Amino acid sequence: MASAAVRDELLCSICLSLYTDPVTLRCGHNFCRGCIDQVLNIQDGSGVFSCPECRAEFRKRPALRRNVTLHNVAERVLSTQPHQEEITGIRCTYCIHSCIPAVKSCLMCEASLCADHLRVHSKSAEHVLTEPSTNLESRKCSVHKEVLKYYCTKDAICICVSCSLAGEHRGHQVEMLDEASEKKKSKLRNVLQKLFTKREKTKERVRSLEERRRNAEEKAHGGVERVTALFRDIRRQLDDLEKRVLSEIFRREMGETLSALIKMQIKKEMMSRKMRHIEELSNMTDPLTVLQEPDTCDLYDSEEEGGDEDTGGPDGGDEDTGKADGGNWDAKLILHLSHTLSDLIRGVVFYVQGPADILLDINTAGNYLLISDDLKTASWTEISQNRPETAERFQYYQVMSRRRFSSGRHYWDVEIGRSEEWGMGICYPTIDRREHQSYLGYNNKSWCLYGGRVYNKQYAVGHDSKVIQFPHQISSNRFRICLDYEAGQLSFYELCDPIRHLHTFLASFTEPLHPVLCVWRGYIKILG
């Protein structure tokens, strides 16, 4: 391996690496062909050529003569050195063969420089240094080939000194590049902050919409399940109704026939016994015995005639009457089926449109009722609330709603707490508020569903003092009330699984209708 002194003599003063294809200038200094070619190319624009080592000037571009001896020595030394790994990034223009990265770029020389070669360029003010770049031409004026130093605020463009003093930007307001850059950066930071704020708001909006979507999806799934259960219950009720109707038809038709058949068989047996008795009398030889028997022939004839009149037609009744009864029974059956189907369909229509918003009117509440702040719940209390005794206030445990209905279809849901007695329904605003005639269902101005312990946990309905109690037990504490004003129908449903229809009132409504509640020893609440 060559000594350090010999090796230093084999280094190019431009790239500071071993010579690669060394050439000699007329002044005698040696350089790599590639290195001196780049230097001469840069000097070509100024019209003066000089040696980078001794600064000897040449009027014309000097001829490059190959130094064969130096080339051979450099190659031998280079072959004995270990391979140097490739360095990524922008390389120094004068250190191409040793792959040394550049730390600055000189705009004047249009060269990228490493730390060693930077020393010469940094000594002169004419050499403008910047961050390493492979596209140095873009940092010079395309017209004057000078370094871009200013920013024209009017035309929003970077210009050189000549553009500012004598060019098309003469007289325009200009700023130093650093100053203009800082102003633009400030504006960009403001824009960035605004975009950041807007992005956060957008993200929050996206989160809100995602939450709404999830809630809507859950609500839709819940609605699908409830509607599916509702139609499943409708199908079950239709199946039960079909079975009951078919059973009733069979019982009605076959029952009358069987009854007539049994009557005829009994009549036939009685006639057979009478015939045997008469034959025995006819065959007796003792005249005294025959004569002592009662004379029953006329009686038998009269009984036969009367029996024929009673039985009438072949099925034991008058044919015309039977046909008339059958026709009426068929009409009643069809009417019952029509009402039942209409009621089931109406339940679906009420459900789809959504519940009505019902608020209780505290001005109508009895003094032994507490009304919640949201005007949804009425609770019984032993302590009088000492509200003013007005004409619109109920004397007992009842309260009307603020809202009233004079048309359309509406429904609302009600929840019952533990109570001895409760009631729910509708009433006219002209209902009495005092004494017994103010009780819901005990006048012709209100329709009501009752329940509670006083009814043995069973249901009852009432209107105009006519109360009907149902045999089946209460299985839920939630109920739905459906009103069709024009059709004159008020229906009650039990919100169990599946929903069960309880009763439908039919009426011709002549006044606006208010939802109304009553409760004793418990609470009752409007849901939703």
CA distance 302 to 289: 24
Say what the pLDDT of residue 310 is. 46
CA distance 55 to 53: 6
Q: Are residues 8 and 122 in the same domain?
A: yes
Asked if residue 312 belongs to a domain, the reply is yes
Asked if residue 458 belongs to a domain, the reply is yes
Low-confidence ranges of the chain (pLDDT < 70): 1-5, 78-113, 115-138, 252-256, 294-353
364 three-state secondary structure: helix
CA distance 422 to 455: 10
Say what the pLDDT of residue 326 is. 47
* CATH code of the domain in which 96 resides: 3.30.40.10
Asked if residue 183 belongs to a domain, the reply is no
Residues found in the chain: 528
- Angle of helix 177-282 relative to helix 297-311, nearest 10 degrees, comes to 160
Nearest CA-CA partner of 399 in 277, 526, 215, 220: 526
Last residue of a domain, which of 135, 162, 182? Answer: 135
Say what the pLDDT of residue 335 is. 62
Asked if residue 332 belongs to a domain, the reply is no
- CA 232 from centroid of its chain's CA atoms: 25
CA distance 235 to 247: 18
Residue 142, CA distances (Å) to 111, 129, 163, 324 in order: 18, 19, 11, 114
Q: Are residues 304 and 384 in the same domain?
A: no
For residues 387 and 421, the answer to whether their CB atoms sit within 8 Å is no
Say what the pLDDT of residue 313 is. 45
Asked if residue 438 belongs to a domain, the reply is yes
CB atoms within 10 A of CB 330: 12
Asked if residue 167 belongs to a domain, the reply is no
CA distance 345 to 339: 10
- Angle of helix 319-353 relative to helix 177-282, nearest 10 degrees, comes to 170
Q: Both tokens of residue 111?
A: 């060269």
Q: Are residues 484 and 369 in the same domain?
A: yes
* CATH code of the domain in which 454 resides: 2.60.120.920
**How do strand 466-473 and strand 458-463 relate by DSSP bridges?**
antiparallel
What is the residue whose two structure tokens read 């060269």?
111
Q: What is the pTM of this model?
A: 0.42
Q: Both tokens of residue 306?
A: 């009367």
Q: For the chain, what is the radius of gyration of the CA atoms?
A: 57
For residues 24 and 51, the answer to whether their CB atoms sit within 8 Å is no
Say what the pLDDT of residue 288 is. 76
For residues 127 and 139, the answer to whether their CB atoms sit within 8 Å is no
* Domains of the chain: total: 3
Q: Which residues contact 527 (CB under 8 A, 6 or more apart)?
A: 355, 376, 412, 413, 414, 415, 478
Last residue of a domain, which of 117, 135, 153? Answer: 135
For residues 40 and 61, the answer to whether their CB atoms sit within 8 Å is yes
Q: Are residues 403 and 517 in the same domain?
A: yes
Say what the pLDDT of residue 267 is. 85
Asked if residue 388 belongs to a domain, the reply is yes
Strand (E) or helix (H) holding 247: helix 177-282
Residue 440 DSSP label: T
Residue 367, CA distances (Å) to 56, 197, 301, 398, 442 in order: 119, 56, 79, 9, 21
Asked if residue 189 belongs to a domain, the reply is no
Residue 234 DSSP label: H
For residues 136 and 128, the answer to whether their CB atoms sit within 8 Å is no
Say what the pLDDT of residue 181 is. 86
Nearest CA-CA partner of 519 in 462, 433, 445, 454: 454
Q: Are residues 271 and 411 in the same domain?
A: no
Last residue of a domain, which of 320, 336, 353? Answer: 320
- Tally of CA atoms within 13 A in the half-sphere of 421 that contains its CB: 11
Say what the pLDDT of residue 95 is. 62
For residues 86 and 99, the answer to whether their CB atoms sit within 8 Å is yes
Q: Are residues 408 and 464 in the same domain?
A: yes
Domain encompassing residue 74: 4-135
